[in-house]
Amino acid sequence: MIDVLSFGEPLVGFYPPHGASMAEDVPIVKTWGGDTSNLAIGIARLGRTSRFLTRVGNDPFGRGFIELWQRNGVDTSLVSIDDDRRTGLYFVSFEGRKHVLTYYRKDSAASAIQETDITEAMVQDCAIVHLTGISLGMSESAVAAGKRLVKLAREYNKMVSFDINYRILQWKSAQVASDTITSVLGAGVDILEITDDEMLTLGWVDDPRSLWERFPESGIIILKQGPKGATVMTKAETFVIPACPVVVQDTVGAGDSFDAGFIVSLLEGKSVKEAAYFATANAAHTCTGTGPLEKMPTHRETDLLLASWNRS
Protein backbone atom coordinates (compact mmCIF):
# COMPACT_ATOMS: atom_id res chain seq x y z
CA MET A 1 0.00 0.00 0.00
CA ILE A 2 1.28 3.45 -1.01
CA ASP A 3 0.48 6.50 1.13
CA VAL A 4 0.07 9.02 -1.71
CA LEU A 5 -0.55 8.66 -5.45
CA SER A 6 0.39 11.93 -7.19
CA PHE A 7 -0.76 12.62 -10.76
CA GLY A 8 0.58 15.32 -13.04
CA GLU A 9 3.47 16.69 -15.06
CA PRO A 10 7.17 16.93 -14.22
CA LEU A 11 8.99 19.99 -15.54
CA VAL A 12 12.69 20.76 -15.80
CA GLY A 13 13.42 24.28 -14.57
CA PHE A 14 16.19 26.65 -15.64
CA TYR A 15 17.26 29.54 -13.39
CA PRO A 16 19.49 32.60 -13.88
CA PRO A 17 21.33 34.01 -10.86
CA HIS A 18 18.96 35.40 -8.23
CA GLY A 19 17.66 38.80 -9.33
CA ALA A 20 18.65 38.34 -12.98
CA SER A 21 16.52 37.87 -16.08
CA MET A 22 16.76 35.20 -18.76
CA ALA A 23 17.13 38.10 -21.19
CA GLU A 24 20.58 38.80 -19.73
CA ASP A 25 23.81 37.04 -20.66
CA VAL A 26 24.17 35.08 -17.42
CA PRO A 27 24.95 31.48 -16.41
CA ILE A 28 21.95 29.17 -16.07
CA VAL A 29 21.31 26.49 -13.45
CA LYS A 30 18.99 23.50 -14.03
CA THR A 31 16.59 22.16 -11.42
CA TRP A 32 13.80 19.60 -11.34
CA GLY A 33 10.22 20.82 -10.89
CA GLY A 34 6.55 20.34 -11.61
CA ASP A 35 4.06 20.67 -8.77
CA THR A 36 2.96 17.05 -8.44
CA SER A 37 6.51 15.77 -8.88
CA ASN A 38 7.58 18.11 -6.08
CA LEU A 39 4.74 16.74 -3.96
CA ALA A 40 5.75 13.13 -4.55
CA ILE A 41 9.36 13.89 -3.61
CA GLY A 42 8.25 15.98 -0.63
CA ILE A 43 6.14 13.12 0.73
CA ALA A 44 9.08 10.71 0.38
CA ARG A 45 11.54 13.10 2.05
CA LEU A 46 9.17 13.33 5.00
CA GLY A 47 9.35 9.58 5.44
CA ARG A 48 6.13 8.39 3.80
CA THR A 49 5.60 6.42 0.58
CA SER A 50 4.59 8.04 -2.68
CA ARG A 51 4.01 6.97 -6.26
CA PHE A 52 4.02 9.27 -9.29
CA LEU A 53 1.63 8.78 -12.20
CA THR A 54 2.91 10.53 -15.33
CA ARG A 55 4.61 10.24 -18.72
CA VAL A 56 8.08 11.51 -19.64
CA GLY A 57 9.90 11.83 -22.93
CA ASN A 58 12.58 9.40 -24.02
CA ASP A 59 15.15 12.16 -23.59
CA PRO A 60 17.84 13.10 -21.05
CA PHE A 61 15.32 15.04 -18.98
CA GLY A 62 12.86 12.16 -18.79
CA ARG A 63 15.58 9.70 -17.84
CA GLY A 64 16.93 12.22 -15.34
CA PHE A 65 13.53 12.53 -13.70
CA ILE A 66 13.20 8.79 -13.30
CA GLU A 67 16.63 8.66 -11.65
CA LEU A 68 15.68 11.62 -9.41
CA TRP A 69 12.45 9.99 -8.23
CA GLN A 70 14.08 6.65 -7.58
CA ARG A 71 16.96 8.31 -5.72
CA ASN A 72 14.42 10.05 -3.46
CA GLY A 73 12.39 6.90 -2.86
CA VAL A 74 9.42 7.71 -5.11
CA ASP A 75 7.75 4.68 -6.71
CA THR A 76 8.02 5.02 -10.52
CA SER A 77 6.02 1.94 -11.52
CA LEU A 78 3.34 4.18 -13.09
CA VAL A 79 5.75 6.37 -15.08
CA SER A 80 5.52 5.73 -18.83
CA ILE A 81 8.20 6.68 -21.36
CA ASP A 82 6.94 8.35 -24.54
CA ASP A 83 9.17 7.93 -27.60
CA ASP A 84 7.31 10.59 -29.61
CA ARG A 85 7.00 13.51 -27.17
CA ARG A 86 9.35 15.55 -25.01
CA THR A 87 9.55 16.24 -21.30
CA GLY A 88 8.26 19.72 -20.42
CA LEU A 89 10.52 22.66 -19.50
CA TYR A 90 10.20 26.03 -17.78
CA PHE A 91 12.48 29.05 -17.50
CA VAL A 92 12.54 31.53 -14.60
CA SER A 93 13.30 35.24 -14.80
CA PHE A 94 13.51 37.44 -11.73
CA GLU A 95 11.68 40.65 -12.61
CA GLY A 96 11.84 43.09 -9.72
CA ARG A 97 10.45 41.32 -6.67
CA LYS A 98 8.63 38.68 -8.71
CA HIS A 99 9.72 35.61 -10.61
CA VAL A 100 8.23 35.17 -14.08
CA LEU A 101 7.95 31.68 -15.58
CA THR A 102 8.11 30.86 -19.29
CA TYR A 103 6.89 27.38 -20.21
CA TYR A 104 7.80 24.98 -23.03
CA ARG A 105 5.26 22.26 -22.34
CA LYS A 106 2.76 22.18 -25.22
CA ASP A 107 2.24 18.59 -26.45
CA SER A 108 4.57 17.30 -23.76
CA ALA A 109 4.77 13.60 -22.96
CA ALA A 110 2.70 14.04 -19.80
CA SER A 111 -0.09 15.82 -21.68
CA ALA A 112 -0.73 12.66 -23.74
CA ILE A 113 -2.07 10.68 -20.78
CA GLN A 114 -5.50 9.19 -21.46
CA GLU A 115 -8.56 8.30 -19.39
CA THR A 116 -7.98 4.66 -20.32
CA ASP A 117 -4.57 4.83 -18.61
CA ILE A 118 -6.30 5.18 -15.23
CA THR A 119 -7.12 1.84 -13.64
CA GLU A 120 -8.95 0.80 -10.48
CA ALA A 121 -5.81 -0.92 -9.19
CA MET A 122 -3.96 2.42 -9.12
CA VAL A 123 -6.46 3.84 -6.68
CA GLN A 124 -7.04 0.69 -4.64
CA ASP A 125 -3.36 0.59 -3.71
CA CYS A 126 -3.08 4.05 -2.13
CA ALA A 127 -4.46 6.01 0.83
CA ILE A 128 -4.58 9.51 -0.73
CA VAL A 129 -4.84 10.71 -4.33
CA HIS A 130 -3.29 14.13 -5.08
CA LEU A 131 -3.71 16.18 -8.25
CA THR A 132 -3.89 19.83 -9.24
CA GLY A 133 -5.23 22.33 -11.72
CA ILE A 134 -1.95 21.95 -13.57
CA SER A 135 -2.62 18.21 -13.87
CA LEU A 136 -5.94 19.01 -15.56
CA GLY A 137 -4.58 21.91 -17.62
CA MET A 138 -2.19 19.68 -19.56
CA SER A 139 -4.80 18.64 -22.16
CA GLU A 140 -8.41 17.55 -22.67
CA SER A 141 -7.36 13.94 -22.25
CA ALA A 142 -5.70 14.84 -18.93
CA VAL A 143 -9.00 16.35 -17.76
CA ALA A 144 -10.73 13.04 -18.51
CA ALA A 145 -7.95 11.13 -16.76
CA GLY A 146 -8.16 13.38 -13.70
CA LYS A 147 -11.94 13.08 -13.55
CA ARG A 148 -11.70 9.29 -13.63
CA LEU A 149 -9.03 9.32 -10.93
CA VAL A 150 -11.22 11.42 -8.61
CA LYS A 151 -14.29 9.29 -9.39
CA LEU A 152 -12.45 6.05 -8.57
CA ALA A 153 -11.00 7.55 -5.39
CA ARG A 154 -14.50 8.35 -4.19
CA GLU A 155 -15.77 4.89 -5.11
CA TYR A 156 -13.01 3.27 -3.07
CA ASN A 157 -13.26 5.75 -0.17
CA LYS A 158 -9.78 7.17 -0.69
CA MET A 159 -8.93 10.70 0.39
CA VAL A 160 -8.52 13.24 -2.42
CA SER A 161 -6.22 16.27 -2.15
CA PHE A 162 -6.56 18.93 -4.85
CA ASP A 163 -4.46 22.08 -5.19
CA ILE A 164 -6.04 24.61 -7.58
CA ASN A 165 -2.62 25.74 -8.93
CA TYR A 166 -4.14 27.83 -11.71
CA ARG A 167 -1.66 28.73 -14.47
CA ILE A 168 -3.14 31.18 -16.96
CA LEU A 169 -1.07 29.95 -19.95
CA GLN A 170 -2.57 26.45 -19.67
CA TRP A 171 -6.16 27.56 -20.20
CA LYS A 172 -8.22 29.37 -22.86
CA SER A 173 -9.69 31.55 -20.11
CA ALA A 174 -10.17 31.71 -16.36
CA GLN A 175 -13.82 30.77 -16.88
CA VAL A 176 -12.84 27.57 -18.73
CA ALA A 177 -10.45 26.71 -15.91
CA SER A 178 -13.12 27.40 -13.29
CA ASP A 179 -15.73 25.31 -15.08
CA THR A 180 -13.32 22.42 -15.68
CA ILE A 181 -12.00 22.28 -12.12
CA THR A 182 -15.54 22.47 -10.75
CA SER A 183 -16.72 19.66 -13.00
CA VAL A 184 -13.84 17.39 -11.94
CA LEU A 185 -14.20 18.10 -8.22
CA GLY A 186 -17.99 17.91 -8.24
CA ALA A 187 -19.33 18.66 -4.76
CA GLY A 188 -15.88 18.68 -3.23
CA VAL A 189 -12.79 16.80 -2.13
CA ASP A 190 -11.25 15.95 1.23
CA ILE A 191 -8.51 18.61 1.08
CA LEU A 192 -8.83 21.65 -1.19
CA GLU A 193 -5.88 24.04 -1.46
CA ILE A 194 -6.10 27.46 -3.14
CA THR A 195 -4.39 30.88 -2.97
CA ASP A 196 -6.04 34.26 -2.46
CA ASP A 197 -4.88 35.35 -5.95
CA GLU A 198 -6.50 32.28 -7.50
CA MET A 199 -9.77 33.04 -5.74
CA LEU A 200 -9.95 36.41 -7.47
CA THR A 201 -8.60 35.32 -10.86
CA LEU A 202 -11.07 32.44 -11.17
CA GLY A 203 -13.96 34.74 -10.25
CA TRP A 204 -14.63 33.00 -6.94
CA VAL A 205 -14.70 36.39 -5.11
CA ASP A 206 -12.41 37.02 -2.15
CA ASP A 207 -14.23 35.32 0.72
CA PRO A 208 -12.91 31.77 1.18
CA ARG A 209 -16.14 30.82 2.96
CA SER A 210 -17.89 31.08 -0.41
CA LEU A 211 -16.01 27.94 -1.45
CA TRP A 212 -18.38 25.93 0.74
CA GLU A 213 -21.18 26.90 -1.67
CA ARG A 214 -19.19 25.68 -4.67
CA PHE A 215 -17.73 22.59 -2.98
CA PRO A 216 -20.10 21.79 -0.08
CA GLU A 217 -18.72 18.29 0.54
CA SER A 218 -15.11 19.38 0.98
CA GLY A 219 -13.61 18.36 4.30
CA ILE A 220 -10.79 20.90 4.68
CA ILE A 221 -10.29 24.10 2.68
CA ILE A 222 -6.90 25.83 2.88
CA LEU A 223 -6.40 29.38 1.61
CA LYS A 224 -2.65 29.87 1.16
CA GLN A 225 -1.72 33.56 1.48
CA GLY A 226 2.07 33.66 1.12
CA PRO A 227 3.66 36.09 3.61
CA LYS A 228 0.27 36.44 5.35
CA GLY A 229 0.23 32.73 6.22
CA ALA A 230 -2.79 30.52 5.62
CA THR A 231 -6.46 30.39 6.55
CA VAL A 232 -7.65 26.85 7.28
CA MET A 233 -11.35 26.00 7.34
CA THR A 234 -13.28 22.92 8.36
CA LYS A 235 -17.02 22.66 8.97
CA ALA A 236 -16.27 22.95 12.69
CA GLU A 237 -13.65 25.73 12.85
CA THR A 238 -11.65 28.36 11.00
CA PHE A 239 -8.20 29.52 12.05
CA VAL A 240 -5.26 31.48 10.66
CA ILE A 241 -1.70 30.17 10.65
CA PRO A 242 0.92 32.94 10.41
CA ALA A 243 3.87 32.67 8.05
CA CYS A 244 6.96 31.02 9.50
CA PRO A 245 9.74 33.66 9.54
CA VAL A 246 12.71 32.71 7.34
CA VAL A 247 14.99 34.48 4.86
CA VAL A 248 13.24 33.80 1.55
CA GLN A 249 15.38 33.06 -1.51
CA ASP A 250 12.69 31.66 -3.83
CA THR A 251 9.05 30.71 -3.41
CA VAL A 252 8.83 28.18 -6.26
CA GLY A 253 7.70 24.87 -4.80
CA ALA A 254 6.61 26.32 -1.45
CA GLY A 255 2.96 25.49 -2.05
CA ASP A 256 3.87 21.91 -2.97
CA SER A 257 5.90 21.55 0.22
CA PHE A 258 2.97 22.91 2.20
CA ASP A 259 0.70 20.28 0.65
CA ALA A 260 3.23 17.52 1.35
CA GLY A 261 3.65 18.59 4.97
CA PHE A 262 -0.09 18.82 5.53
CA ILE A 263 -0.82 15.41 4.01
CA VAL A 264 1.99 13.70 5.93
CA SER A 265 0.81 15.23 9.20
CA LEU A 266 -2.73 13.94 8.65
CA LEU A 267 -1.32 10.49 7.85
CA GLU A 268 0.52 10.67 11.18
CA GLY A 269 -2.74 11.35 13.00
CA LYS A 270 -2.11 15.01 13.81
CA SER A 271 -4.98 17.46 14.20
CA VAL A 272 -5.80 19.85 11.35
CA LYS A 273 -4.21 22.75 13.23
CA GLU A 274 -1.04 20.78 14.02
CA ALA A 275 -0.88 19.71 10.37
CA ALA A 276 -1.21 23.31 9.20
CA TYR A 277 1.66 24.50 11.42
CA PHE A 278 3.90 21.66 10.25
CA ALA A 279 2.95 22.37 6.60
CA THR A 280 3.75 26.07 7.00
CA ALA A 281 7.19 25.31 8.45
CA ASN A 282 7.79 22.74 5.71
CA ALA A 283 7.00 25.34 3.04
CA ALA A 284 9.14 27.98 4.75
CA HIS A 285 12.16 25.69 4.77
CA THR A 286 11.80 25.16 1.01
CA CYS A 287 11.77 28.95 0.50
CA THR A 288 15.30 29.25 1.91
CA GLY A 289 16.73 27.68 -1.27
CA THR A 290 16.46 28.25 -5.01
CA GLY A 291 14.01 26.08 -6.88
CA PRO A 292 11.69 23.54 -5.30
CA LEU A 293 14.20 20.88 -4.29
CA GLU A 294 17.38 22.53 -3.00
CA LYS A 295 15.94 23.10 0.50
CA MET A 296 12.96 20.76 0.41
CA PRO A 297 13.22 19.38 3.96
CA THR A 298 13.33 16.07 5.70
CA HIS A 299 10.99 15.51 8.64
CA ARG A 300 13.80 16.26 11.10
CA GLU A 301 14.63 19.58 9.39
CA THR A 302 11.02 20.72 9.54
CA ASP A 303 10.71 19.56 13.14
CA LEU A 304 13.76 21.67 14.04
CA LEU A 305 12.40 24.75 12.27
CA LEU A 306 9.01 24.25 13.90
CA ALA A 307 10.64 23.96 17.34
CA SER A 308 12.58 27.19 16.82
CA TRP A 309 9.53 29.12 15.61
CA ASN A 310 8.24 31.49 18.29
CA ARG A 311 4.49 31.22 17.74
CA SER A 312 3.42 33.23 20.78
170 in Cβ contact with 198 (< 8 Å):
no
pLDDT > 90 fraction of the chain, expressed in percent and rounded: 87
Phi-psi region of 29 (alpha: psi -120 to 50; beta: other; left: phi over 0): beta
HEC per residue, 67-80: HHHHHCCCECCCEE
163 CB contacts (<8 Å, ≥6 apart)? 35, 130, 132, 133, 193, 194, 255, 256, 259
Residue 104 has pLDDT above 70, yes or no: yes
- Length of the chain (residues): 312
Average per-residue pLDDT in the chain? 95
Triad 164, 292, 175: Cα angle to 5°: 20
| Listed range (14-18, 43-47, 96-100, 237-241) with the worst mean pLDDT | 96-100
pLDDT in tens, 79-93: 999 999 999 999 989
pLDDT in tens, 190-232: 999 999 999 999 999 888 889 999 999 999 999 999 889 999 9
17 in Cβ contact with 275 (< 8 Å):
no
Please state the domain extents for the chain.
2-308
Confidence of residue 101 (pLDDT cuts 50, 70, 90): confident
pLDDT in tens, 23-41: 999 999 999 999 999 999 9
Q: Which CATH number fits domain 2-308: 1.10.10.10, 3.40.1190.20, 3.10.28.10, 2.40.160.10?
A: 3.40.1190.20
217 in Cβ contact with 187 (< 8 Å):
yes
CA separation for the pair 181, 183 (Å, rounded): 5
pLDDT in tens, 142-162: 999 999 999 999 999 999 999
Average pLDDT over residues 246-266: 95
CA separation for the pair 181, 71 (Å, rounded): 33
pLDDT of residue 19: 84
57 in Cβ contact with 108 (< 8 Å):
yes
